[in-house]
Structure 1
C-alpha cells in the first residue's frame, strides 16, 4: 500500500488535451473515485497511473518513488477493467493464478494465495469451472480475485460494474467496498455513475473536460458543490438551476421572486442588478402542507402549479411550474397530488446555492 501523488499530470493526443495539469493525492489505503462523464479524462488518468499511457507532462509518485516512466510490471499495480477480461480457455483457478505464474511464484504459494483470494470473493466452489459456465457477476469476481491475488500496492478499477444488471451492481458495490476496507489497499475507481461514487468512495474527485473540478468526501461534494457542473452531475434528480437577477432584498426570476435573509443578500452585494444562477436540490424543498418542515431552520416560499407527478413508490417527484420556470420537488413516500393544483413550494434557505453566471463557480 502506498500514497499516490499526481503532479501537473497532462496527456495530449495531438491537439486534444485529454488530461490538463491534474494535481491529486490519493492517501495510503484510501478508496478514491474518479467521477465524470464520458470523455472527461478519468480513464486516461487511470491508464497513466497504471503505466499504460505515458504522460505528456507531469509526474506520478507512488510514495517517494517516481514511477512516471516505469512499465506496468514494475509498479506493483493491479487493474480491473470494464470487460471481465478472463481467459476463456482457463479454469477459474488458472485465471486467478495467472499473474502469480508470470512472476514465477512457487507452486505451493500460488495455491495458497489463489484459495485465499477465492474465499474472499466467495468463489472457492467455482475454481474448477470455465468462464463460459459462470454468470456475469461470477466472472467479475474472478477478475477481482486475479487483481488482488498479487497483493498490489495500488488497485485500479475502470468501471468494473457497468456490464452487470442493476440488482447485481448494487450487491457488488457493497462487496468491493468491504473487500477494500479489509485489504486496506490504495484503490482508484473510475465511474460515470454518481450513485456508485457516493456509496463507495472515501473521497470523490470530479472531472470534466480533462480538468479536476472538486475533491472531497461524498457528502461534502454533494452539499457544497463548487460549480454548476458538480452541482448538477451529483444528485438524482439533479439540482434545479434557475437564472435570476439580484435585487435589493430578493432574487427575481422570470415571473417569480425568491425572498432571502439579509445575511445571504449581503454576500451578493457585488452582484446587485446582475444575473446569477440560483440552485436548490429537489430534496431540499417540500410542498406546503405536505412533508416535514421541522429540519428546516429557515425557509422561503414560492407560489407554483403542479405540472406533472412521478410516483416512484418510495418517493414522489413533483414537477412544479413557478413563473416561466419548471422545478422538481422530491417528497418521501406516495403523494397523490392533482395536476394543475396551486401550491406553495417551501425551500430550505440553508440549502440554497448561488453561482456566478459567467464562471459558473459558487458564490453562496
Structure 2
C-alpha cells in the first residue's frame, strides 16, 4: 500500500530520519512508537508530502509519489491540534473537507451522516470548535479526515491530550476504524498502551532509526534491545545484574534454553507485570524462576497493588492482586522463564 525506500531527513547536522525502509500493508493499523525527538512526526509528514525527504522515496500502490503534492495522494492527516476551521460549525467543517471532491449533494449528506453517527457527533453539528471539549474536538477531527474516504489515514499523537476515560473511548473507536471505513492507518505515539492495544504491527523508532518492527506480541515479548523493552513497558523494567541471578539453578536453565551463556549476556530485565507472589498451586516449578525479595513500600492503585521490594541491594517493583494480603517482609516471588529478558 505504502512503502518507504531509504528515506532520510536531516535538519542541519541533526538526524531526524535515517535510511528508513518500511512497507505498510493495505488495511493495516501500523503504530510508530518512540520517545519525543525519535523522528516519528517527521516520518509521518514525509508520508503525507508535507515534508520533503533529503533522499529516498515514497511509494503508494506501486507508484512513486515522492514529489507528488499532498492533495494528490488521497491521504488524510489528523494532528494533535485538531486543525478545525474556527469560523465554521462542526457540520461546516465536514462540508469543507468534502468540497474539493465535488461530490453530488446526496453523497455529501450520506457521508456526513455516516461519520457523524460513527464518531457520535450528531448533536454537535451546530457548534463551533471553540464550544467543543478536547474529546469532542478530537472526534470531529477524525470525522473530518475519514469523511473524505482516504486510502491512508495518518494520525499524530491523537490521544495525548485526552484524559483516561476519553482515551479509552477513542481507542475503542480506532480499533475498528480500518474495517469500518476500508482505510489504512498509520499512527505515531509515545504511549505503549496505545501501541499495544491498537496496532496490527508496531514500528519502533529511536533517534531517527527504525530499530524493530513486528506484531505487538512479538515486539513486547522479544524486544531487540533494552531501550525497546523499556518503550513497551508502561511501568518500566526491573534491570538486574547477571551475577545476582546466576546463583539460581533455574536461571542457568534459562540461559541453556536460549542457547547462550553468561559470557554473552550483559543485561537482564524483568517487567513488573511478569512477577507474582509465589503460590502453592502455581504452575510446575520447571517453568518458573523463583527467588526471595524483601518487601518495603506498598501502594494501592485501586485495580492492583504496586509493591516495591529489594533483591539483595537492588530495588525492583511488581504487582500484587488488589485483594492479596501483602505486607512488608520477606516473601518468595516467581517469574515465568519466558518472561525473563536477556540482552548481550
Please give the TM-score of this superposition, normalised by the length of structure 2: 0.93
Alpha-carbon distance in structure 2 between the residues aligned to 1:319 and 1:349:
21
Q: Deviations over 1:118-159 (max 9, x none)?
A: 222222232222223322222212111110111111000001
Alpha-carbon distance in structure 2 between the residues aligned to 1:204 and 1:233:
11
Classify 1:91/1:324 alpha carbon distance in 2 versus 1 (closer, same or farther; 3 Å): same
Aligned to 2:176: 178
Classify 1:228/1:207 alpha carbon distance in 2 versus 1 (closer, same or farther; 3 Å): same
Aligned to 1:140: 138
Alpha-carbon distance in structure 2 between the residues aligned to 1:203 and 1:332:
30
Within a 5 Å distance, the mapping from 1:204-243 to structure 2 comes to 204-243=202-241
The unaligned stretches of length 5 or more in structure 2 are none
Within a 5 Å distance, the mapping from 1:17-166 to structure 2 comes to 17-166=15-164
1:347 to partner: Cα distance: 2.4
Within a 5 Å distance, the mapping from 1:158-307 to structure 2 comes to 158-245=156-243, 251-252=245-246, 257-260=247-250, 263-266=253-256, 267-269=259-261, 271-272=262-263, 276-289=266-279, 293-294=282-283, 297-307=286-296
Aligned residues, how many?
A: 342
Alpha-carbon distance in structure 2 between the residues aligned to 1:122 and 1:275:
52
Is the aligned partner of 1:351 residue 2:342?
no
Q: Deviations over 1:2-32 (max 9, x none)?
A: x111111111111111111111111100000
Match of 1:336 among 301, 325, 334: 325
The unaligned stretches of length 5 or more in structure 1 are 357-364
Alpha-carbon distance in structure 2 between the residues aligned to 1:60 and 1:197:
24
Classify 1:218/1:156 alpha carbon distance in 2 versus 1 (closer, same or farther; 3 Å): same
Classify 1:133/1:70 alpha carbon distance in 2 versus 1 (closer, same or farther; 3 Å): same
Alpha-carbon distance in structure 2 between the residues aligned to 1:300 and 1:124:
54
Alpha-carbon distance in structure 1 between the residues aligned to 2:149 and 2:254:
51
Q: Deviations over 1:139-180 (max 9, x none)?
A: 212111110111111000001122222211110111122222
1:225 to partner: Cα distance: 1.2
1:251 to partner: Cα distance: 4.1
1:297 to partner: Cα distance: 5.0
Runs of 4+ residues deviating >6 angstroms: none
Secondary structure, aligned partner of 1:82: coil
1:289 to partner: Cα distance: 4.2
Classify 1:193/1:295 alpha carbon distance in 2 versus 1 (closer, same or farther; 3 Å): farther
Alpha-carbon distance in structure 2 between the residues aligned to 1:209 and 1:193:
17
Q: Deviations over 1:40-90 (max 9, x none)?
A: 011110000000100111111111011111110110100111012211211
Deviates more, 1:71-80 or 1:292-301: 292-301
Classify 1:160/1:296 alpha carbon distance in 2 versus 1 (closer, same or farther; 3 Å): farther
Are 1:120 and 1:179, in contact at CA under 8 Å, matched by a contact in 2?
A: no
Are 1:29 and 1:186, in contact at CA under 8 Å, matched by a contact in 2?
A: yes
